[in-house]
């Protein structure tokens, strides 16, 4: 597993915990940062995870608006928590991180959804992320 894949997983964990516990992302991030200090071997993945989380926080309203726009018939509240978090990460990478090719960002989110969420989640995420990618021109 690449360092970026591990970082996406760590970012997913933080977003998921914040959603499930109904705490702020910054509060979940602080707890994870404390844990990361005690695990120096995971520092490389932590740096990119932190970049993802900060990006999702900074662009949260725009990202959530895109999800609502392209998730026809689905509100954010109705989506599985994992799908919502993976979409936020994927959209941030597609729109705001030029270091990651769009196809890689989409494939990583889809693969994680297939592994961690419902049977239909992979195609659901693929459709939304594909539309977001097309919309950026």
pLDDT in tens, the chain (137 residues): 788 999 999 999 999 999 999 999 989 988 888 877 777 776 667 889 999 999 999 999 999 999 999 998 899 999 999 999 999 999 999 999 999 999 999 999 999 999 999 999 999 999 999 999 999 86
Domain 3-135 belongs in CATH node 1.10.940.10 = yes
- CB distance 104 to 7 below 8 Å: no
Question: 3-state DSSP call for residue 76?
Answer: coil
What are the structural domain ranges in the chain?
A: 3-135
- CB distance 128 to 70 below 8 Å: yes
DSSP state of 74: -
């Amino acid at each position: 597993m690449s360092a970026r894949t591990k970082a996406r997983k760590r970012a997913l964990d933080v977003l998921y915990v914040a959603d499930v516990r109904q705490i702020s992302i910054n509060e979940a991030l602080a707890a994870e940062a404390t844990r990361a200090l005690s695990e120096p071997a995971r520092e490389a993945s932590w740096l990119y995870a932190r970049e993802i989380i900060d990006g999702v926080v900074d662009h949260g309203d725009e990202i959530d608006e895109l999800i609502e726009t392209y998730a026809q018939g689905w509100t954010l509240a109705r989506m599985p928590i994992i799908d919502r978090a993976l979409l936020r990460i994927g959209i941030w990478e597609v729109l705001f991180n030029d270091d990651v090719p769009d196809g890689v960002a989409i494939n990583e989110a889809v693969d994680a959804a297939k592994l961690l969420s419902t049977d239909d989640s992979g195609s659901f995420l693929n459709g939304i992320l594909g539309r977001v990618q097309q919309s950026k021109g």
